[in-house]
Structure formats: C-alpha cells, structure tokens
Structure 1
Amino acid sequence: MLTMRENLIVSKLIEARKTIRIKDLSKELEVSTRTIKYDLENIRKWLEQFSIEIYAQPNKGLWLECSENEKLQLYRAMIENKNESFYVDQHARLERILYMFFVKEGYITASQLADQIQVSRNTIINDLKAFEEFIQPWMLHLERKQRKGYRIVGKEIHLRLLTEHIIRENVSDYDMYHIFTTIQTGKIDELSLNLDDTILAACKNVMKQSREILLEAKGESISHVEILSIFIRLTIMLVRMDCGCTIGSYRLFQSDDKSSSFLEKLMARVCTEYQVPMLEDEFHYVHRNFLLDQKLDLVKITNQIIHYVSKKEDVPYVQDVKLYGNLLAHLSLRFEKSTTYLTEINPFKEEIKNSHFSLFSHIRDACLKYIGPYTSIVHDSFISFITLHFLVSYENVFKKKPCVTALYVCSTGRGVARLIKNRVEREIKQIEIAAYCSMLEVEERMKEQDIDLIISVFPLKANVPVIIVDSVPSEENIRAIREAVYEIIQETADTSTAFLQQSNQAFEEEKNNEEISQEIILKGFEIAHEIMDTFGSQLHPDRKEGFMIHLFLMVHRFYFNKQYDHFMIRSKEKHQTEQLLEQLDTVLKKYHVSVNKTELISLSQYFK
C-alpha cells in the first residue's frame, strides 16, 4: 500500500506535462532526497501490478509513459487505497481533524481524536499544536477546556470557507471526471472521495438530486466549475445545519427573479429530503460571493494595489496600462454578484510563492490593506492569481529582454552590411548584430566579443551556431535566424519563470498601420460619444477620463483579437448589473464591435 506522501508523488507523476526532478519533489514535500528515493522504490513495486514503469534519466528527471485509461486506473486504485497508513502524513491528519470538528458541534477529546485516526495520544497533542497554526489564517482558533476537550471557535462562515478550501484542494482532475461521470450514469453509490463519511453521505444526496434536476432542465446552461461549487457548498450547509449551526438568521427564503432557478430547485429538494428549512442566508451562502457584503470600489482598489506594489518592489508597474486593465477585469469577475467559486485553486501557487516570495508578500499586504481582512481567508490561491498578473507585466514590459549577440559575415565586411543589420534587427527583436566582418576576420572578432550566433553568406565552422544566408537575406533566411535565436534564448532562460515564457511568434510588419490606427480611433470615438450621451449620468464623475482610455484600449484589443480571457463561463442569471451589460453590448454591436462578458463587466466598473 502507498502512504499519503507516495500517493501525492504518484498523482504528480500522472498529472505532469514534463519530467519531474527528485530535488523538486524533495523541496515541495519538505523531506530529504533520500526519503523521496525510498518512496519511489515502494511506488515502483506498487506500479508493477499495473505493468507501468517509472522512467528516469540523469539531468532530466522522472516520468510515466501510460495511456489515459491506465491513468484513470491508477487514480481509482489510489482512491481505494484506504488503510491506516493513509494518515501517517501530518497534513493529512490535520485535514482529518478538521473534518471531525466540522461534523460535530461541541468538544472532542484528544483520546477520541487519537482513536479515530489510529495514532498515539502524544502524536495527536503535537498535531493539535500544528492544527492551531493551520486554522489561524482563516480567523479561527482552537479552544481547550479541561475534562471536555477541544473545539474550534470562530465565525461559522470562516469554518465553512476553510472546509470548502480543503475539499476543493483535494479534488483532483480524476475526481472531477468521476463526479460528473457518476451524475451522468446515475451510479451515485459508487462515488468514492477522500472525505469524512458524514460529508460523503451528504454529497451523494446532493448529487442524486442534481442529476434529477439536470435531466429536467433543458435550456439552462451551467458550467462544471459552478456545479462543483454548488455541490460542495450545499454539502457543507447540510452537514452544519444537521449540527444545529446556521450561517445567519432563521428567515425563510423568498424566491425572486434574481436567483438561479437550478439552484433554487436543487436546494428546495435537498432541504425537503433532509427535513431542514430553506433559509434565506443559507441560500445566499451557496449562491453568491460572501465578500459582496462589503461595498468595494474596484477601480480605486486596482489603482491602489498597483501603486503600493510599484513602490515596494521599486518597479514602475503603474506605467503598464495593460496590467491595470487585466487586474481590474480579474477583480471584477472575482467580486461579481452571484459568484459562487471564490476559493479556486491555482496550480502555480507553490511555485509562485517560492520563486517570487517578495512580490507575493507585497501583493498580500496590499490586498489586506485595500480589500480588507477577508483576503486572508481567501488564502494563497487568490493572492497567487493576482501575482501572476504582475509577473506577466514584469516579463513583458519591465524585464530586460534576452538578447542574442550575432556576428554578420559577408564578402568584405562593408557594402550593404549595415542595411542587412537594420532589417534583421527590425524583424527579430531579440537579436543584436554586434559586428560585421569578412571571412578572414571571424576568429579575431570571436576573441574580441562574446558571440552567440554567426550569420554568414559563406559556409564556415565555429563553436557557436552558424546560419548560412543569401547576400540579401530572404524570408526563409529570416525564419532560420529567428528559430536559431529562439533556441538560444530557451537554453539560457530563467527556469523559475519558464511557465510565463510565451511561444515564439513570427514578426510580421503590418502593411496599413496608418489606416488601422485611423479606424480604431474613429470607432472608439463614435462608441464613446454614444455611450456618454446615453449613460453619461450613470458614469462616476472621477472616472470619465479612465473610462475613455479603457474604451479605446478595448476597441484596440477587439481589433487585434486580444480580448481579456473569458475564464469564467456563468449561467444565464439576472442581477442588478445585467441590464447595463446588455445595453452596453447593444451599443458596441451597433458599431460591429463584439466583446465577451469579461470585457463588459470590466467596463461596467466605471458606472455608479
């Protein structure tokens, strides 16, 4: 059988899109490389039953070669791997302790915890000390009372958000596949997740009711991400209400046109099944973003965060207009009304924290200062997503671009060489032709300067890559030079930010730049003029100039097919801003500008 840590290693090998180094596993799991090697020996023996082998290569890493069906088979085997060694990892025991406190209101003794998890009382005492630190960032603390035991003290919403975060963090890609496959087939009883039995029973009940309603619903479009969030929150609600713990008042829910018909039907059936009342505050907990209890000026907050981080990092992020637009769009969606998925998981979270800890810390401080204490509850995933925006800005705007130094070799070293230099450097931004010389001067030039690449009209040998070109480089020659430059840059790239490197794209000079610019300016002016005439009274007085800039940049993004990522697909719900979004969309389409929902939501932030 596999331990918890070995399960994690197998999961990483299955999900990895590239090789994994033992050193990286050691650092992430906080154990020695020797321990990882022992774990790998046990994993190899376990994999023999599936006829799957771990491949390894020095200076490259570890990887698995198996089909998608074999991966699913491994996932199923790991889920069924339920033995007492599953909890030898302390982090797994802390999650188990949280579930035990979550499903029971009142005190639990150390002996009861030790018996349930099957470890010694001394181990549990040490775990409880770690557990206090584990729950502290979520504004919870552990209370101890003599002869009674321990209990978690804090607001109900904080306990629910922590539990939701832990459940979401442990739902793997296979679990997602298994959940939705189970709903489609109706084989709910076969669902197996690493959850407390009480929580799993409630989850199965919610899924059973969901299947019936989804089969009935024909016109309503609901994303898988949203369905998963509803599953988790409804499950959490049922378990806590069964313990006698509600999130607010006992006022019964009153239906209105702004609520989700799918959620309303599902929650009504689930509450009837469990014989609990359908309360208004509980519906709002499941349905919408709890942070909306605060009134947030996202335009102002976006500016404040960028200025704060710029000052702390001593990088002029305030000069990057695109960073402002992207960050505003992200926050607009995160704090959009009816957003249920608040505690999403960022797969780059640990890599970002380790590689860019200073930036991560300053962004967290800025969020705490300008958004409020609830950002500590949203935890590291929320901060790491914002950090990604700053990292992209730094990579694309402020970081010194990698540059390949080239030597151009022609017949005499004179003549059209300067014209060739200008053309190559114009079309390939990452190259600098530092010198040009004749074939007889190559060795001397190589000694005088550090040369990465030679561009030559003659065949020659050197200890750096050589690209042979025509006397006047053709398009094919330019492509060959570009590919060589890209390979050199990739070899010397900083591995800590490799996930941000964008794929190489051919540089194509636009033929009609003047005409394109005129069209964008005129179209932007026409749209801005009509929106100001129609909705001018709704625009915030201090935001009109920002609105104009944002609108022109939006038209520019539309023209070059560079709209904000439409990374949240929502159901067709009605809320107070829906009418404004529809009106803005109508004006834009009148001028043949069609933008996605993300762009519209971002634009709406300039209105009262």
Structure 2
Amino acid sequence: MKLEKSQKDLLYLLLKQEEEISLTKIQSELHISRRTVYYNVNKLNEFLFGFGIDPVNNRRGEGYYLTEEQKKVIREVIEIEQSVYNLTPDERVQYLVCWLMYPKEKVFIEDIIAAFDISRNSVFNDLKVVKSAIEKYDLSLEFDLKNGYSIAGQVFGKRALLLYYLKMLLKKLSYKSIDFLNAIEVEDFYARLQRISVNMRNEYDDFNLLAIACVLNIVHFVDERFDFSILELRDLEKTDELRMIDQYFEDLNVHERLYLTIHLLGSKASSVIHIESGQKDIQLFELAQHLVELFERQTLVELSEKNELVNSLYMHFKLSMYYYQLSIQISNILLEAVKVNYESLYQLIKSICESIQDEFPFILTDSEVSYITMHFGGHQRKMRSKYYAPIRVLIVCPSGISTSTLLRKEVEDLYANVSVVAATTANNIYQYDGKVDFIVSTIDLDTNIPWIKVNAILEKEDKSKIASMISMNVETYQLNGENLNGLFSVLRKYVDEEQMENLRRDIYEYFRNGHFVVETKENDQLRLGDILTEENIVQINKNITWQEAINIASEPLLITKSITPEYVQAMIDLVEEHGAYIVLKNKIAIAHAKPEEGANRLNVSLLINRKKICFDENIGIHYLFILSSPNPRSHLQILKDISYWTNEEVNLKILLNSNIDELMNFIKKMYQ
C-alpha cells in the first residue's frame, strides 16, 4: 500500500512530535477537515499494519502520538518507501543535476515527466533553474534531438557540482530510491571506503563516504582524464589516503584514484595537505582580518583570542582556495545544523560576507558561510567562575578545525568551570590518560578514559549527557566538612571499594547509551517584535545630520534608562572613527556601542525620517535603529531580525507615510 501525500504529511507531523498532538492542532497544521484527519489516520494505520507496526496511539482528551519504538521502525520503513514523487522543486533540481551530469541513457522531456510525475511546464521550469544553477561553475545544459539532455563542461567542475548536489539529495532520499544509481555497486564502494576509514582510525564522516561512493558509481564507467600539476601530484603521493586507495581500489584507473584521494582529504578537513604560499596569501589573510573587523564593528561582540580567529580563518580560506582551484566543491554536512542551532549568527555572517563578496577569490556558497560561522561561533568570549575547580575535558573531533573549535566552545559554555584541555584525533588520546576527567567525542572510541559520543553540533540531549558527566565529577559541595568530588564521592561512602570501579564503568556506559540524569534547558531569544514598542518609534520629517539622528533616535531609550548619555556619545564616536559602517542596504542603519559604554538593558528604538539622513553625498538613510544590549550575545537575534529589513523584497517605502498602527502590524507580520 502506498500513502498519499496528505497521509504522508500526517505521518511526518506525528514523527516530529515529542508529545500528543490534538485533533484541532492537526487540522490547523495540515489545513484539512476533521473528517479528513479520521480518514488519513485509518489509512495510515492500514499502512503500518502492513509492516507489522502498531497503529497510531490516541489518548482521550490529549490527542494522537507515536511511541519512540514506533518512530524508530517507521523511519526505517520510510527510507525504503521514499520516492522522487514527493520531492520539492528545489530537490527536483538537485536530482536533475545529478542525473544529467553523466546520464547512462538518453534523457528526454518525457523521461523527466515520468520520473517525477509532473507536468511538462513544471519540467521546463525545473530545467530553467538547472541551467541557472550550473552556470557559476562554467557548466552548460545542452540538448539535441538525438541524445537528449546533458550537462557539459570541465571535468573538475562537473564532478564538484555532482558531489555537492548528491549530498543534498541523499539527505532527502535513500540511495536505493535514486534510479540512476546502482545500489549494489554503491554498497560495494561504500564498504571499501569504510574499510579505509577503519584503517585510518575512523577519521572520515560516514555520510561523506556514502556520497563519494555514489559519485564513483556514476563516473567510474566514464573515460575521463585530469590535469594534475606536479605540485599536486607531489602532495598527493605523500598521503596515507592514496596508499590506502591504491590497495582497495585497484580496479580504478590512476586518474580516478588520484581524484578519489582528493575527495577523501576534503572529507577529512582536519588534515590539510601542504599548500604552497603564493600571491593570494596576503589577500586571504587580509580577507580574514577584514571579516573579523566588520563582525566586531557591526555586532560589538567581544571575541576571544582574536588573532587566533584571524589565523584559523586564513588557514580555512587557504584550504577553500586550494579546493576551488581544483574545482572541488567541499560541502559542510553540518550546514543545516548550523542554520538551526546558530541561526542568528549564521544570518549575520552571511550578510557580512555578502557585503564583501567581491573580496572572496572563490565561490561563497552556503557551506562556506556555515564554516565561517563555526569559526566565529568558537571565538566568543566567556567569563569563568573562580569559585570551583575546573572539570578537564578532551575533545575528539576529526571533522576539522572549525568543527572542533565550535564544539569546544559549546562544551565550555555549558558550565563556567568546564575547561577543554585539547581537541585531538582518536590516535592521540593515550597522551591524555590521567590528565582529563572525561572525553567528548563525535566518533566511537576504544579507551579506558570515560567518554561519551555526541553530535558535532550539540543537540539538547547531547548537552544533557555532558551535564550528567560533569555532575559525576564536579566539586561543588561538602558533607560533614569533607569536600566531595561529585556524585562518585558520595557513592563511595555506601558502595564496597571492589564494586566501585564496576559501578563507575556501568554509569559511564549508561551515559554512552544516550541516557542522562541532568537535563539542560534551551533559552528562547527575544525577537525584534517582542521589544520594539510603539513608544520606541519616532517619526519625523526634518533635515537633520546623522549625529542629530542618533540623538533623536536614542531619546526613547534614555527616557526608560535603557542607555546612558555616554552610550549615545559612544555611538557617535564609533561612526566618526570608522565611517558609516552602521549603514546597511535598503536605507537602513543600526547604531550601538559596547555594553560597558552605558547599555543598561536590552532594548531597541527606531527613527523613521521622511527626509534623507546623509552620512556623505553618496550615503543616505530613512531608518535608524538604536540597539542597547548589556549582554554581548543576547542581541544577535535582534541584529538578525533588523538585517531582514535589508532584503530587496521588503518594500520599506510604504512605511515612510504609515501611521503607528500600520507600523506595528508590519513588524508583527514580519516576525510571525
């Protein structure tokens, strides 16, 4: 039995719910009638029965739900049942790019219609988007009456885009559901790559290995040659990757083996092959410096070890430049996690990068922006407590400098006294035996040191697991005048010494299996619509200087004592020192100063002037935000919300003559 779209929508809705969902809520979420909900539940139960799965649960007065065991089995079933029929237009474009890059059979309009079950017009629209998407890689969509559709261009460019889009596609579909892939051959290549990974101490991400296996399945039958420079060949010959590939992929020609080596090096971003310094070096270093300076000016967030951040960005840019020169598009598998968990920071970094896009000597993709976000996320200053002894943690994360830096910060941010001793690879952990309290790892380990496995970007459950490990060790209290070293010190009073080690091992195993005893809570950040009130909006129609504008816009915040007069002067001084850096696109500006300059509480005001406020003869604005934030991190979401006003599709001209009610309605709708 196949599920219809509305029934699949209901299933996906139930899968993502952590508790019961009411009939009314289902109607609202899916825009269907009560009768349709009952019908779809019955059809869904028939589908589940066919796989031996219990029907959807319904608790009277609470609503429908699935147990965790049901969800686990259903997700396995869905992977088998996945189909190209329910792909979105963007996902169809990804599928088409991969399909048409090296088509094993001729592809015509009728084949695409049949594959997706869509109209002819939809196919033409999709192909139009495909044509636009591949042009930046110097590729072209070609068609002739005899051979159908295909993508033409340089070999490196074709394979770069193939891997890039395959990774996105594999997040939606199982490789078994993709018609242009041979599942048996993919599994063979994947198994070989996994054996290499085991021999290299699991330093590769499984998802990347699967994507590379899919690429090999598509291209290995194609007779292509690559132009490697002497420098590139010299570097590749030194790597363990090439030695292992020669051993496990004897059936591939030498060019394919060299190319596969480059991709393995790319998926293990922590190991950078030697990159010669050249003319671009100074440009890349200056780009890193400029990016850091712009971030500090626009956010006034204090960065820890700023020089280290500049250097890490510089090294990342060198690697990005190296792969760009080889036309290899390295995709960040953590892209979606970064967008969700660091949404405000990601959007701000994206906005800053796009403002200086011409300075990047390589394509600024979303993956590149996410890597840059991870670097910045790992260098925001945190205050430590002096009252408790530090908990020593080792990070094992082979996914690259940006990932390990961000993971380090996330772990240290959980508690003031967590101290990350180092971030290393699995084969170096023996050096830290006796020097750390436990290990936080993104891969499985074989060690006697207590360890837990987490996601590279911590989810709520990961944070709770780490907090539980900390509770086992942290020295925070006394009993009968004796300092206690966490929970184990208490247990030792009631457990025989010979059983203590077994107890300790079982507890750590309990945590490794995903359980926890301390739960962490996520704090929702305030949005612009939450704090920008009617009283904080000033509307005028006057010829004034930008200094006068800052003073006028600041008045509502001075009245509520959200800021001090010194804060206003500090904002003016910053513009006089650095120029009109506060001006964004769409005639918007955001002025703010450092918290210590006189920011008493989080607040925002807005000045709207029908007459243009000029900073010089070329720069003028109509909208000026004043932002006050005593916490250097709490205002990132507000900055992100304000930056949304700079989007070209947001028509702000209508606000110049709007009344206060219309303004407030506009703001509320914008952040719904």
The two structures have a TM-score, normalised by structure 1, of: 0.49
Q: Which has the higher contact order (CA 8 A, sep 6+)?
A: 1
The structure in which a higher percent of residues are helix is 1
